[in-house]
Chain A
Amino acid sequence: MAELTYASIDNTVIDTLAPPRRTYWATVALLFAGILLGATCWGYQIFRGIGVAGQNNPVHWGTYLINFVFWVGIAHSGTLISAILHLFRAGWRNPIARAAETMTVFAVCTAGLYPFIHLGRVWLVYYMLPIPNQRTLWPNFTSPLMFDVVAISTYLTVSSLFWYTGMLPDLATIRDRSEGLRKKIFSILSLGWTGEYELWRHYTRGYLFFAALATPLVISVHSVVSWDFALGIVPGWHTTIFAPYFVAGAIHSGLAMVLTLMIPLRKMFHYEAIITDRVLESVAKTIIFTGLIVGFAYGTEVFIAWYSRNPVEMESFYWRAFGDYSLEYWIMVSCNTIVPLLLLFKRVRTHIPTLFVISLFVNVGMWYERFVIIIGSVAHDFLPHAWGLYSPTLIEYGIMIGSFCLFFFLFVLFCKHLPSVSMTEMKETLHEGESHAG
Chain B
Amino acid sequence: MPAESTSVMGLFRDETTAAATIQEMGAGDWHLERVHSPIPSHRIAAALNPKKSRVGWFTLAGGIIGFFTGFGLAAFTALRWSLIVGGKPIVALVPFFIVGFEFTILFAVFGNVVGLISQMGLPRPMRQRYDPHCSGDRFGLLATCDPSRRADLIAFFKERGAEIREFEPQTATA
Chain A residues at the B interface, C-beta cutoff of 8 Å: 5-7, 10, 130, 132, 135-142, 146-147, 150-151, 153-154, 157-158, 161-162, 165, 169, 172-173, 175-177, 187, 191-206, 209-210, 213, 216-217, 220, 224, 424, 427-428, 431, 434, 436, 438
A-B contacts counted at CB < 8 A amount to 178
Are B126 and A187 in touch, CB under 8 angstroms?
yes
- Name the distance in Å between B69's Cβ and chain A's nearest Cβ: 11
- Name the distance in Å between A220's Cβ and chain B's nearest Cβ: 6
Q: Give CA–CA (A294, B92) in the complex, Å.
A: 32
Chain B residues at the A interface, C-beta cutoff of 8 Å: 15, 34-42, 44-45, 48, 50, 52-53, 55-56, 59, 70, 73-74, 77-78, 80-81, 83, 92, 95-96, 98-99, 101-103, 105-106, 108-109, 112-113, 115-116, 119-120, 122-127, 130, 132-137
Closest A-B pairs by Cβ, 6 of them: A6-B137, A138-B77, A176-B132, A191-B123, A141-B74, A192-B124
**Which A residues lie within 8 Å of B124 (CB)?**
191-192
**Which B residues lie within 8 Å of A436 (CB)?**
40
The listed residue (A172, A202, A213, A224) touching B120 by CB distance below 8 A is A202
Are A216 and B136 in touch, CB under 8 angstroms?
no
Taking chain B's interface residues, is the majority helix, strand, or loop, or is none over half, making it mixed? helix
The listed residue (B44, B98, B125) touching A147 by CB distance below 8 A is B98
Are B81 and A137 in touch, CB under 8 angstroms?
yes
The listed residue (A130, A140, A220) touching B73 by CB distance below 8 A is A130
The listed residue (A141, A173, A204) touching B96 by CB distance below 8 A is A141
**Nearest CB to that of A198 among chain B residues?**
B34
Are A138 and B120 in touch, CB under 8 angstroms?
no
Are B45 and A130 in touch, CB under 8 angstroms?
no
Taking chain A's interface residues, is the majority helix, strand, or loop, or is none over half, making it mixed? helix
**Which B residues lie within 8 Å of A191 (CB)?**
122-124
- Name the distance in Å between B154's Cβ and chain A's nearest Cβ: 22
The listed residue (A176, A217, A431) touching B39 by CB distance below 8 A is A431
- Name the distance in Å between B73's Cβ and chain A's nearest Cβ: 6
Are A209 and B39 in touch, CB under 8 angstroms?
no
**Which B residues lie within 8 Å of A7 (CB)?**
136-137
- Name the distance in Å between B104's Cβ and chain A's nearest Cβ: 9
Are B53 and A202 in touch, CB under 8 angstroms?
yes
**Which B residues lie within 8 Å of A141 (CB)?**
73-74, 77-78, 95-96, 99
Q: Taking each of A138, A157, A172, which has the highest tally of chain B beta carbons within 10 Å of its own beta carbon?
A: A138
Check A195/B38 contact, CB under 8 A, given A139-B77, A141-B77, A147-B102: yes
- Name the distance in Å between A62's Cβ and chain B's nearest Cβ: 27
Are B34 and A196 in touch, CB under 8 angstroms?
yes
**Nearest CB to that of A141 among chain B residues?**
B74
The listed residue (A132, A147, A197, A217) touching B35 by CB distance below 8 A is A197
Q: Give CA–CA (A4, B127) in the complex, Å.
A: 30
Give me 16 other A-B pairs in contact (C-beta within 8 A), A146-B99, A438-B40 excluded: A138-B80, A139-B77, A141-B77, A142-B83, A147-B98, A147-B102, A158-B106, A165-B116, A175-B135, A192-B123, A196-B35, A196-B36, A196-B127, A199-B122, A206-B53, A210-B112
**Which A residues lie within 8 Å of B80 (CB)?**
132, 136, 138
**Nearest CB to that of B63 among chain A residues?**
A213
Are A154 and B106 in touch, CB under 8 angstroms?
yes
